[in-house]
Amino acid sequence: MALEHPAVYADNSFFVLSPLKDYKALCRGMMVNGLTFLFCVEGEVNLKVNDRPLTIAAGNCLVSPPNTMLDDIELPSTASAVLIGYSMEILVRMLTGSGRVMKVIKAFGQKAVINNDERYTNNRVNTFLNILRYRNASNDLYHDELVYHLFASMLFDVINDLHIPAGNDETNGDGSVHYRTEHLYKQFMALLSKTDGRERTVNYFADKLFITPKYLSKITKLYAGRPALDVITAHAVERLKMELRYTDRPMKDIADAFRFESYPTFCKFIKKHLGCTPQQYRLQ
């Protein structure tokens, strides 16, 4: 997606958008594909997280795991917010393994908003931004290492506020760690990415994973904090938004590509989830 303003920093592993209110298109709606921290530095931020209204007060941080939908982000003139993002690949590297990544994401799913002192949050975010801007503007020999460790320090600072107890993994009856749910969740996410919004039923994904729809929803609630149908639908809606807003493909071609039963069914789906017709959304 083309941004109205250049990001403070962006590569394949990290990104920083500040101040967030400058990115109006993203504030209207975005799908989180990695892990993001939305810091409210001043005032209050009102938004919808997976269609649920939420207010983030100054000093607090909203943590969004993969496949979280952020919509209707409202930032009045007195408010300031910063969005920091991490790819899943870099999280695996920083947390030394996918097992620890899933443990952290599960913890964030249970506590999406981290409360902190406004002054502390203001200081740590501004220090982070100042160092990043300064180092990114210079031709440092160790630029990549500096950026990596700067983002790592922010990540672990936020994780530390979760107070995750040691040895809190899901276990079997004998106390050994049970990784089946983690493996199934990763398979589900891979399938979701592969189908790219063309399949929108829980039964389809459950059949591919050889599990029941009920068990799939149990897994997604564990790692994403919501039922499987919500995750699947949110992904499809985000893909359709991209097609409608950033391509000139005919509407009927989009409906066919996404395997809707008919053009009216496609229009009904868009109306239900975006509140307008496909044509109206494209013209926004």
Q: What's the pLDDT tens digit per position in 64-92?
A: 988 888 999 999 999 999 999 998 888 88
What's 180-283's CATH class? mainly alpha
pLDDT of residue 98: 65
pLDDT higher than threshold 70 for residue 169:
no
Q: What is the mean pLDDT of residues 244-255?
A: 92
Query: Is the predicted pLDDT of residue 139 greater than 90, yes or no?
Result: no
pLDDT average, residue stretch 22-37:
89
CATH number of 9-160: 2.60.120.280
- pLDDT surpasses 80 at 152: yes
Report the pLDDT value the prediction gives residue 62, as an integer from 0 to 100.
95
Report residue 53's pLDDT band, with 50, 70 and 90 as the boundaries.
very high
pLDDT of 165 reads 52
Q: Model pTM?
A: 0.65
What DSSP string runs through the chain? ---SS--SEESSSEEEESSGGG-HHHHHEEEESSEEEEEEEESEEEEEETTEEEEEETT-EEEE-TTEEEEEEE--TT-EEEEEEE-HHHHHHHTTSHHHHHHHHHHHHH--EE---HHHHHHHHHHHHHHHHHHHHS--TTHHHHHHHHHHHHHHHHHHTT-PPTT-S-B-TTS-B--HHHHHHHHHHHHHHHHTTS---HHHHHHHHTS-HHHHHHHHHHHTSS-HHHHHHHHHHHHHHHHHHH----HHHHHHHTT-SSHHHHHHHHHHHHSS-HHHHHH-
Average pLDDT (25-51) is: 91
Domains 9-160 and 180-283 share a fold: no
Please say if the pLDDT value at position 246 is more than 50.
Answer: yes
Domain positions in the chain are 9-160, 180-283
Residue 21: what pLDDT?
A: 92
At 175 the pLDDT is 38
Q: Span 97-118, mean pLDDT?
A: 80
